[in-house]
Amino acid sequence: MALTDAGYRVIAPDQIGFGKSSKPDVQYHFDDLAANTQALLTSLKIKHVSVIANSMGGMVAVRFARLYPQVVRKLVLENPLGLEDYSKDIPPQQNENLLNLEMAQTETSYRKFLQSYFPNWQPAYEQFVEVYVRVQKGPDYPAYARTSVLTYQMIAEKPVVNDLPQLKMPVLLVIGQKDRTVFGRRFAPPEAVQSLGNFPELGRKAAKIIPNARLVPVDNVGHVPHVELPDVFNKAVIEFLNSKS
């Protein structure tokens, strides 16, 4: 791994509600996920970290940095959600409706969803579809689907865009320039979709309102530059972490 090779210790938390962690049927909040992260660091006796986060993880990272600014030395946000307030344009959704949609997901529909993240779909990305299909065919899928609904509501109801001007640590924004991800796209009025998810513009706006921000646009990639162009992403991140500013 590039960060390990560069001399950094890497810790990848598996948040409650995600991956192999427990999936309780509770109301999820970014503050709680941030508190989980801090508890993990405390248990490991780690006092300072640099945080790297992508997509929804970017929203967790922003809240973590706001709640524990004394812990976060530097923050890397890679195409994070939450650079705009979705609640202004996306109508509220009932849990039952969201759950029905999740349970109706198929391998084909999930592949189509993932393809929206990658402007240049590659056969290697099929591994991400396979992971989902394996989960869907497993006994824990109902809990997985329910948690997906609850975390959807967290994103919809708890924006972090207003936290951005309060970030005091150095922040690196790595933004794939072909990303047009719109959270809750299927529920948005057509006129709203046209103005949402413009990540090149969102990145520029964020870089202006975050006091100590550096913007790295990455051409010809979408929502996950670290997958599409890992060498470019790793170089930008390591240079940022190594810098004294």
> What is the per-residue pLDDT for 150?
97
Per-residue pLDDT averaged across 212-231, rounded? 98
Segment 155-169 mean pLDDT: 93
* Per-residue model confidence (pLDDT) at position 161: 93
The two tokens of residue 180 are 């047009």
Nearest to 63 by CA among 45, 80, 47: 80
Residue 72 pLDDT greater than 80, yes or no:
yes
**Which letter does DSSP use for residue 216 in this model?**
E
| Over residues 211-228, mean pLDDT | 98
Set out the domains of the chain in order of their start, with CATH numbers.
2-242 (3.40.50.1820)
Q: How confident is the model at residue 32 (pLDDT cuts 50, 70, 90)?
A: very high
Amino acid 191: pLDDT: 83
pLDDT(189) > 90: no
Whether the predicted pLDDT of 245 surpasses 80: no
pLDDT of residue 244: 86
Residues contacting 118, CB < 8 A, separation 6+: 125, 222, 223, 224, 227, 228
Whole-prediction pTM: 0.95
Q: What is the pLDDT of residues 84-133, one digit of tens each?
A: 998 888 899 999 999 999 999 999 999 999 999 999 999 999 999 999 99
**Confidence band, pLDDT 50/70/90 cuts, at residue 201:** very high
The rounded distance, in Å, linking the Cα atoms of 86 and 59 is 13
Quick one: pLDDT at residue 89?
Answer: 87
Question: Residue 72 and residue 225: Cα distance in Å, rounded?
Answer: 23
